[in-house]
Amino acid sequence: MASAAHWSPLAELLADGGSRATMLRLAPIVLLGGGLLVYVLIRAALFMLNYMRIQRGLASIPSAPGSLPLLGHLIPMITCVRRNIGAWDLMEEWLDKTGPIVKFRFLGTQGVVFRDPAALKRVFQTGYKMYEKDLDVSYRPFLPILGSGLVTADGALWQKQRMLMGPALRVDVLDDIIRIAKKAVDRLCEKLSHHAGNGQPVNIEEEFRLLTLQVIGEAVLSLSPEECDRVFPQLYLPVMSEANHRVLRPYRMYLPTPEWFRFRTRMAKLNQYLIDLFRRRWEARQMVGASRQKPVDILDRIMDAIEESGAKWDAALETQLCYEIKTFLLAGHETSAAMLTWSTYELSIAGEMADKVVSEADTAFGAQCQVEPSRRSVDEMLYTLSVLKEALRKYSVVPVVTRKLAQDDTLGLLGHSLPAGIMVACHLQATHRMYEAPDEFRPDRFMPGGEYDSFDDAIRAYMFVPFIQGPRNCLGQHLALLEARVVLALLHKRFKFTLAGGSAVRRDPSVIPVGPVGGLHVLLEVRK
Ligand code: HEM
């Protein structure tokens, strides 16, 4: 018999000449090992067959430059940040060099990236059911936060949730946004007034992030600014920051490091905080019953819709609601803050554009900013809106959205049919560069009769896609643009901004939504 220290099934079998008793004892181990080997071989064979099927399906599409055997485009994609460009900028280089659609691959993933308004229409509108959310790669690091919320859900669950949540973000809540945003910008102006004229730079991007979080916190949950400033920096912002780190370092999702445990703990605390809040609100609603007043916030509106649908309040509903609310918080603040930051950057360079925004603010808010304007007066601030739209075009804060093709698309994109299983990267940024002199900041493009209006009717809506288009378009786009018009106009009415230190401002290559590297540092003066 082999000693215990060197025991192995084979050694034991050889040592006792393969007696029947030993063979019987070893049979389960051999069977298990053999079964495992067969399973791995079958999985590998299926993977290879699928890989080759996709490769054949993509044969007609040119490959992006820089592919290596086995690794594909992995190395250029993970090292591009060192060249100060994002993976989305690298993809745009591929399109510039190769054509409007190119294929790429990394690890086991094969995909295509394209720029073309008609092809965007196919993905976002006519074939949207085939083009599902890409949960395997792009959204994976955010799944612990977003779960099966609106942004990441597909099929029947998405449809049900969109019907439930949609009205809460569309109708009369938009009137409340003007009031909430005005209060928030008044608080910010009070804070900034201590910096005006003192030569101390302010990181205005950071201020916009706090402001948009306060606006969304109040609009969705009626949280006071103090409560927002207490809860979010402790629980929500750190989990967001870790999820962002995981995009470029996916191994952080699996390694049980101290940060991994902190992420789990904070996530659990944030969920508990939200669920306690829901329960208190739901119970209070049941106590008040029919004498209830008009809804106070988005959560109230969602609860109205839940009651109307007859759904039972249970743990599953609480969990789903938790995902939805976190989705609103995530989707609703950093993107808006990035849009405000880039708009402020451009207005700080072009004084005459800032003057036009200020003149619209005078009309809507009064000379002393004392008026709380109606929806209509804010809707009439067309130039301010055009500044925001042009910032979204020029800086494409969401430069790419990705999908996974759920079935073969025989009509395909740009004349190429596409096989099921591929990643499809819709290059919004590259589409936004299909304008005249794309590097120039020209808000007039979006004024009535401007360049945007001159595009053909069939594709116009797909030439400006910061919120994408079609059934899965951004649910918060009206809220975001309304809030930002109030904030941008009032802030520039009160202060004149100049860039601090003349430092060059670069787009961050590592995080979406894309803001400036290190924030935006500005000097302020009270506007006369
Ligand atoms: C400038 C600000 C914003 C930008 C640029 C933006 C951009 C986008 C984009 C590109 C998508 C599509 C993502 C995809 O299909 O993979 C999206 C979806 C979404 N956004 Fe926004 N967003 C902004 C503000 C907001 C705000 C303020 C909210 C909520 C309060 C919000 C809520 C959502 C939701 C719920 C979806 C998912 C819609 C669905 O799939 O049915 N967004 N947004």
What are 247-269's pLDDT values in tens digits? 878 899 999 999 999 999 999 99
Is 162 near ligand 1, meaning CB less than 6 Å away?
A: yes
Helix H or strand E segment including 395: helix 382-395
Average pLDDT rounded to a whole number, residues 354-364: 95
Closest CA relative to residue 363, chosen from 463, 489, 253:
489
For residues 66 and 59, give the distance between their C-alpha atoms in angstroms, rounded to a whole number: 17
pLDDT in the model for residue 295? 76
Interface TM-score (ipTM) > 0.85: yes
For residues 382 and 396, give the distance between their C-alpha atoms in angstroms, rounded to a whole number: 20
pLDDT in the model for residue 252? 93
Q: Is the pLDDT of residue 171 over 80?
A: no
Q: Is the pLDDT of residue 2 over 50?
A: no
pLDDT tens profile 185-196: 999 999 999 998
Q: In angstroms, what is the span from residue 362 Cα to ligand 1's centroid?
A: 30
Ligand 1 atom nearest 153 alpha carbon: 40
Confidence of residue 12 (pLDDT cuts 50, 70, 90): low
Could you report how far apart the first and last alpha carbons of the chain are, in Å? 96
For residues 187 and 179, give the distance between their C-alpha atoms in angstroms, rounded to a whole number: 13
Ligand 1 atom nearest 483 alpha carbon: 27
Half-sphere exposure of 63 toward its Cβ, with a 13 Å CA cutoff?
15
Ligand 1 atom nearest 466 alpha carbon: 5
369 is in an annotated binding site: no
- 357 neighbors 347 (Cβ within 8 angstroms): yes
SS3 (DSSP) at 125? helix
Confidence of residue 3 (pLDDT cuts 50, 70, 90): very low
Confidence of residue 164 (pLDDT cuts 50, 70, 90): confident
Is 152 near ligand 1, meaning CB less than 6 Å away?
A: no
Q: In angstroms, what is the span from residue 476 Cα to ligand 1's centroid?
A: 6
197-201, 333-337, 401-405, 462-466: least confidently modelled range: 197-201
DSSP secondary structure letter of residue 461: T
Q: Is the pLDDT of residue 503 over 80?
A: no
Instruction: Report the chain's mean pLDDT, rounded to a whole number.
Output: 91
For residues 474 and 335, give the distance between their C-alpha atoms in angstroms, rounded to a whole number: 11
Ligand 1 atom nearest 158 alpha carbon: 41
Q: In angstroms, what is the span from residue 364 Cα to ligand 1's centroid?
A: 27
**pTM reported for the whole predicted model:** 0.91
**Bigger pLDDT: 248 vs 212:** 212
- 422 neighbors 54 (Cβ within 8 angstroms): yes
Residue with CA at minimum distance from ligand 1 atom 32 = 476
For residues 155 and 351, give the distance between their C-alpha atoms in angstroms, rounded to a whole number: 48
Closest CA relative to residue 297, chosen from 366, 376, 393, 228:
228
Confidence of residue 8 (pLDDT cuts 50, 70, 90): low
Q: Which of 157, 339, 474, 485 to mutate to test the pocket of ligand 1 (most atoms within 8 A of CB)?
A: 474
Residue with CA at minimum distance from ligand 1 atom 42 = 476
pLDDT tens profile 394-416: 999 999 999 999 999 999 999 99
pLDDT in the model for residue 6? 58
Closest CA relative to residue 54, chosen from 513, 494, 421, 374:
421
Half-sphere exposure of 429 toward its Cβ, with a 13 Å CA cutoff?
25
